[in-house]
Amino acid sequence: MPPVLSGTFIKDIALIDYGNLTQEQIDRDTETVDGQHYQLPQTRLIWIKLWSEYGEWATLRRFTPEKYKYYREHIGQEVHIAIIPDPQVKLI
């Protein structure tokens, strides 16, 4: 993840199955700001390709038809990214 999250745009999205991810991709996406990791759903996911002045990067989100439609409709648009701790998320 780049050091500054402002000026981030959705470049593209794709569907991916958890089983097709490498351990490096999983670790990179699930790392928290304090270096721990959260459990990624082992199901179909949305791979979101992002662009900012610092370059390209990506993140994963759980697939739902509604989320997929939302992200697809926002390709090319600037997005606001907020990192909000969720006390219900199990860290591993």
Contacts 24+ apart (CB under 8 A), 32-38: 32/85, 32/91, 33/83, 36/91, 36/92, 37/91, 37/92, 38/89, 38/90, 38/91, 38/92
pLDDT exceeds cutoff 90 at 44? yes
Cβ atoms of 33 and 18 closer than 8 Å: no
Phi-psi category of 76—alpha, beta or left, where left has phi over 0 and alpha has psi -120 to 50?
Answer: left
Instruction: For the chain, give the mean pLDDT.
Output: 85
pTM of the model: 0.79
pLDDT exceeds cutoff 70 at 61? yes
pLDDT exceeds cutoff 90 at 64? yes
Q: Is 23 exposed, middle or buried (0-12, 13-18, 19+ CB in 10 A)?
A: exposed
Among 17-21, 54-58, 86-90, the range with the most confident prediction by mean pLDDT is 17-21
What is the pLDDT at residue 5? Answer: 56
pLDDT bin (cut points 50, 70, 90) of residue 50 is very high
